[in-house]
Chains A and B, each alone.
Chain A
Amino acid sequence: MTKPGKKFSRVRTIWLVLLGFIGLSLLVAALLRGNDVILFSPKGLVADQQHRLMVISTLIMLGFGVPILFFLYFFAWKYREDNEKAAYSPHSDHGKFFTFTLWALPTIIMLILASLMLPATQKLDPKRLIESENERLTIQVVALRWKWLFIYPDQNIATVNYVQIPVDTPVQFELTADETPMSSFWIPHLGGMLYAMTQHVNWLNLIANTPGDYQGSAAEINGAGFAGMRFITRVSSEEDFKKWVNDTTLSTNELGTSEYASLLMPSENNQAAFYSNPEPEIYSNILSKYAGGHQQYAGSTEHKVTH
């Protein structure tokens, strides 16, 4: 005794759901116009490989998941109680083979994903140095409340909330923090994030392949000024980089002990700042401040341990 009205409404529901999904996708697409979907427009080798891995894994899972969803909703519709044409068997007896398949199918999918994941995890380990013809640039990064301090030990300059790097040059960021809760250093255009913590150095290796200005942020909650702890990453040509370094070296603004002490004071929404002649041992001093007898920083050899 199917009621015609009900049958109609069920078909209508299916259409409405489909229309809803299409509408939602169109709306999202419209809102996206003119905006940068950063993770889908990588500007460096690491971000590019992470993006590819993300897309491939998603497609594999969709290929597996969409048919499952289809069957689930199809059965829910087909075996509805008022469908008299559908078969009904009140028992659920299934053989061993079926049970085996049940477990084997997702296992196979996960094996495929794991076989993609394991080599990629090794290859994209943030510590791993990126090979290139160009010489590696080292930048020491200190998370402060609530700004990022960048020290260029080889160029003898330092910046706040601004970092400039030459294109196609591997960069090693050496991340730590001073008197600041755990912070996360993230330049999504170039690659994934890593934590900056007191007592520790984390090495994040990135490389950029396209000049431009990219946003950088703190991605882990670390106090009141968290949202404003952003910086600009400028990727420029080698020449522009050298010119910028030269200009900055001429700055009268030097990063001495007293300037660093004022940077240590909490402050929010800081503008970019540029310093010449950073105190040479500033970075190793920050680390030894927390070392407590354990020295974990091996990058610089001439530092003193002070308590």
Chain B
Amino acid sequence: MREFLIGKLNADALPHEWFTIAGSVGFTLMLLFAVGLITYKKRWKWLWNEWFTSVDPKKIGIMYFIAGGFMLVRGGLDAIMLWLQQSLSSGSSHGYLSADHFQQIFTAHGNIMVFFVAMALIFGLINYIVPLQIGARDLASPFMNTLGFWLYVAGVIMVNMFFFLGNEYGAAGWLAVAPLSGKEFSPGVGMDYWIWSLQISGIGTTLAAINFIMTMLKMRAKGMTLFKMPLFTWGSLCSMAMAVTVFPLLTMTIFLMFFDRYFGTHFFTTTGGGNAMMYTNLIWMWGHPEVYILMLPSLGVFSEVVSTFSRKPIAFYKSNVFGMIGISTLALMVWLHHFFTMGAGADVNSAFGVATMIIAIPTTVLVFSWIVTMYKGKIRLTVPMLWFLGFIAVFALGGISGVLLAIPPVDFQLHNSLFLVAHFHSTVVGGVLFGIFAGLAYWFPKIAGFRLNERIGRYAVWSWIIGFFVAFIPLYVLGLMGATRRLDHYDASTGWQPFFIMSLIGGIIIAIGAALQIVQIIASFIQKRRLADTTGDPWDGRTLEWSVASPAPAYNFAVIPEVSSRDAYFEMKKLGISKPTYKDIHMPKNTASGIYISIFAFLVGFGFVWEIVWLVVVSILGIIICLIAKTFNEDSEYTIPAEVVEKMEEHQADKVRAFHKDDDEVDMGLLEFIKIALSWAWRLVRGKR
């Protein structure tokens, strides 16, 4: 009976390791604080109506940013713990982590950074910016969007659930290589949490990708042909096309793994005719494209940033587009380079080596396109542009080491070494994270209505870049010294320790950079009036998102613009905009179905992790009922009357007319920020508010 009711759950599952106790207490305190604050401010209704149930891609985008930013801190803490262990654990010292715990941390670090940070931040940007860039009012399916977001949240909770119940996460690396991840070698629930956190958020990703593709293909403003689309939208389109192609593959692969673990099938086991090499192939057929899924929108961001801040249209627009299409097509055909060392013959390795090298061609073309855009431009070295310049340095390192790894005989020596780790961090930190940061700094005024503090922003950029080189150059060197990745301990005679310590110092500099970004955001909020973006066009922008107020109104465009060229808004500014006639706008209504379905999806996963059959059955029924109930809801739209739209637009126009540009540097520096923070703290202590 007990087994029927609660499956494998028992008292042992409660937190009893130091890290699960710390984690569960930490999360509980944060949750209590948040709940307390919301209750105190009486904001529950507002939160539910305005945010949680919202189908507005702008609000969903902001929620993706918040969740992704939170997980970035979580994954960053993992990174610091790994660095610390490797700096300490040399010779007779074994550091402060057990081997098993260390392996769980790098598994979680990889999963969190890829699935729950990078994907979330990319989706945040696409959600907010793409509809504005193509002149759309919302996404093709607003419901699918909220469902995708809440499935992602369910995945986030699942990946942290082991803190509360289970005491272990998967320890087989972020891709859970078989047969290590099978029941034979990993019997615990950690792997099951891995399976279900990826499975649930992965399905959310597939839904979101389908939705974005539909939106970009079918909902562009009149006149915006494909080759007039802004480059961020192009990057997103290529990225989402790849996501739709490969995420179902991930879902199926993980299902096969799930069958092996639950029903004792033999897809990837060592015995019974299972073939673990098949898993390696399948997971990398998804895994390699995944990296480019993250990177292409970022490359698009850089194209926008370079063009805007050079005050020039992007050079070689079509080559740039075909470069991105080329990258996304080729990236589907190179997965085998992740395991040249598995024993495929020279011919197979050669084919995949050549295919991998070919990817460097379109990537170089993109760089050329940016260089020529800067040539004879008027370049403003703002924070987004600094991220771009930093990205180039880091990415060049990643690119060169990447082509090196594409040469099979060289890869035999560098594979699975720290050189490889340094390589992919160069591409992913430079090519994905810096792109996201550049995009956030660039579009922040559009999202928040005021721009970010430039001074503190510059400090953050420099900390990240310097920290990156101090942290990852030693890893390249360690790889050349024969250090393999994922070591929780090594001999003192290897001489590796000073490099691990240097790398840790780099990691700390990066953490300072991240802290400065938080300071930057707070400082910008303090000065939000002075940094306000009244015109909606703070950078002299070129694309449609800058033609609307900041932050963008719920309906995005009062009147859907007509597009006749690339850089549509830049052309409009030159021609002047005539006064439009306003019409009623129909907008989708909020819905809570996405939340309900995601709760049930979470319970399905939870039921499978702990083998609680009734919970799985009930939750699957719950999902089906929610979906059917949703189809009965015919009344899913509301109308914003033309008068209201006119009033809002007039109000914005008045603000723009009253605006006069203030040339003074208004951004506060660090010292001023510390002064303000201290005086607040002082007032809080004295009890005077």
The DSSP consensus for interface residues of chain B is helix
Q: Which chain B residues in 49-69 approach chain A with CB under 8 Å?
A: none
In the complex the two chains form, is B489's CB within 8 Å of A228's CB?
A: yes
Q: Is B610 an interface residue (CB 8 A)?
A: no
Q: Is A270 an interface residue (CB 8 A)?
A: no
Chain B proximity of A259: nearest CB distance (Å): 22
Q: Which residue of A lies closest to B173 (CB)?
A: A221
Known A-B contacts A53-B409, A102-B365, A106-B365; A202 and B271 likewise in contact (beta carbons under 8 Å): no
In the complex the two chains form, is B360's CB within 8 Å of A90's CB?
A: no
In the complex the two chains form, is A110's CB within 8 Å of B177's CB?
A: no
In the complex the two chains form, is A117's CB within 8 Å of B494's CB?
A: no
- Per-position binary interface string of chain A over residues 91-108, scored 1 when its CB falls under 8 Å from any chain B CB and 0 otherwise: 110100001001101110
Among the stretches B70-78, B211-219, B314-322, the one at the interface with A is B314-322
Among the stretches A36-44, A241-249, A297-305, the one at the interface with B is A36-44
Contact residues in A for B341 (Cβ distance below 8 Å): 184, 192-195
A47 CA to B414 CA, complexed, in Å: 11
Contact residues in B for A194 (Cβ distance below 8 Å): 341, 343, 412
Q: Is A26 an interface residue (CB 8 A)?
A: no
Q: Which residue of A lies closest to B411 (CB)?
A: A192
A244 CA to B378 CA, complexed, in Å: 74
Contact residues in B for A38 (Cβ distance below 8 Å): 480-482
Contact residues in B for A273 (Cβ distance below 8 Å): none
Q: Which chain A residues in 212-252 approach chain B with CB under 8 Å?
A: 215, 217-228, 230
In the complex the two chains form, is A226's CB within 8 Å of B343's CB?
A: no
A50 CA to B419 CA, complexed, in Å: 15
Q: Which residue of A lies closest to B474 (CB)?
A: A28
In the complex the two chains form, is A184's CB within 8 Å of B416's CB?
A: yes
In the complex the two chains form, is A127's CB within 8 Å of B312's CB?
A: no
A49 CA to B346 CA, complexed, in Å: 16
Chain B contact residues, CB within 8 Å of chain A:
99-100, 103, 171-173, 177-180, 185, 270-273, 275-277, 280, 310-317, 319, 339, 341-343, 345-346, 349-350, 353-354, 357-358, 360-361, 364-365, 367-381, 385, 389, 392-393, 396, 399-400, 403-404, 406-417, 466, 469-470, 473-474, 477, 479-482, 484-491, 494-495, 498-499, 502
- A–B Cβ pairs within 8 angstroms, 29 of them: A28-B474, A39-B481, A49-B409, A50-B409, A61-B403, A65-B399, A68-B371, A72-B371, A76-B389, A79-B377, A89-B312, A90-B312, A92-B313, A92-B314, A92-B315, A106-B365, A110-B358, A110-B360, A113-B407, A117-B409, A121-B346, A182-B276, A186-B416, A198-B179, A217-B484, A219-B417, A227-B487, A227-B489, A292-B272
Among the stretches A80-88, A130-138, A147-155, the one at the interface with B is A80-88
A34 CA to B498 CA, complexed, in Å: 12
Starting from the known contacts A31-B499, A117-B354, A268-B99, 19 additional A-B residue pairs (CB-CB under 8 Å) come to: A31-B502, A36-B495, A57-B403, A57-B404, A68-B364, A69-B392, A72-B367, A75-B371, A76-B381, A88-B311, A94-B316, A105-B368, A121-B407, A128-B346, A181-B270, A186-B416, A194-B412, A227-B99, A227-B490
Contact residues in A for B490 (Cβ distance below 8 Å): 227
In the complex the two chains form, is B410's CB within 8 Å of A54's CB?
A: yes
In the complex the two chains form, is B313's CB within 8 Å of A188's CB?
A: no
A217 CA to B171 CA, complexed, in Å: 20
Known A-B contacts A79-B378, A120-B409, A226-B486; A113 and B403 likewise in contact (beta carbons under 8 Å): yes
Chain B proximity of A62: nearest CB distance (Å): 7
Q: Which residue of B lies closest to A54 (CB)?
A: B410
Contact residues in B for A92 (Cβ distance below 8 Å): 312-317, 372-373
A57 CA to B473 CA, complexed, in Å: 19
Known A-B contacts A53-B407, A79-B378; A103 and B319 likewise in contact (beta carbons under 8 Å): yes
Chain B proximity of A210: nearest CB distance (Å): 16
Contact residues in B for A114 (Cβ distance below 8 Å): 353-354, 357
A47 CA to B412 CA, complexed, in Å: 10
Contact of A47 among B392, B413, B473 (CB under 8 A): B413
Chain B proximity of A19: nearest CB distance (Å): 12
Q: Which residue of B lies closest to A31 (CB)?
A: B498
Contact residues in B for A225 (Cβ distance below 8 Å): 99
Contact residues in A for B271 (Cβ distance below 8 Å): 290
Query: Could you tell me how many residues of chain A have their Cβ less than 8 Å away from some Cβ of chain B?
Result: 97
Contact residues in B for A71 (Cβ distance below 8 Å): 371
Contact of B408 among A90, A117, A184 (CB under 8 A): A117
A138 CA to B425 CA, complexed, in Å: 39
Contact of A224 among B100, B311, B379, B484 (CB under 8 A): B100
Contact residues in B for A202 (Cβ distance below 8 Å): 343
Contact residues in A for B469 (Cβ distance below 8 Å): 20, 24
Contact of B481 among A36, A62, A195 (CB under 8 A): A36
In the complex the two chains form, is A58's CB within 8 Å of B367's CB?
A: no
In the complex the two chains form, is B487's CB within 8 Å of A50's CB?
A: no
Known A-B contacts A24-B473, A120-B409; A181 and B179 likewise in contact (beta carbons under 8 Å): yes
Contact of A57 among B273, B373, B407 (CB under 8 A): B407
Q: Which residue of A lies closest to B378 (CB)?
A: A81
In the complex the two chains form, is A91's CB within 8 Å of B312's CB?
A: yes
A166 CA to B177 CA, complexed, in Å: 36
A114 CA to B350 CA, complexed, in Å: 9
Q: Is A265 an interface residue (CB 8 A)?
A: no
Q: Which residue of A lies closest to B409 (CB)?
A: A124
Contact residues in A for B413 (Cβ distance below 8 Å): 39, 47, 50-51, 54, 188, 191-193
A88 CA to B502 CA, complexed, in Å: 44
Chain A proximity of B267: nearest CB distance (Å): 14
Q: Is A261 an interface residue (CB 8 A)?
A: no
Q: Which residue of A lies closest to B478 (CB)?
A: A37
Q: Is A122 an interface residue (CB 8 A)?
A: yes
A181 CA to B182 CA, complexed, in Å: 9
A31 CA to B466 CA, complexed, in Å: 19
In the complex the two chains form, is B410's CB within 8 Å of A50's CB?
A: yes
Contact of B270 among A110, A118, A126, A198 (CB under 8 A): A198
In the complex the two chains form, is A227's CB within 8 Å of B488's CB?
A: yes
In the complex the two chains form, is A127's CB within 8 Å of B410's CB?
A: no
Contact residues in A for B482 (Cβ distance below 8 Å): 38-39, 186, 188-189, 215, 217
Known A-B contacts A69-B392, A106-B361; A27 and B481 likewise in contact (beta carbons under 8 Å): no
Chain B proximity of A39: nearest CB distance (Å): 5
Known A-B contacts A31-B498, A113-B357; A61 and B400 likewise in contact (beta carbons under 8 Å): yes
Q: Is A197 an interface residue (CB 8 A)?
A: yes
Contact of B345 among A123, A125, A220 (CB under 8 A): A125
In the complex the two chains form, is B415's CB within 8 Å of A181's CB?
A: no
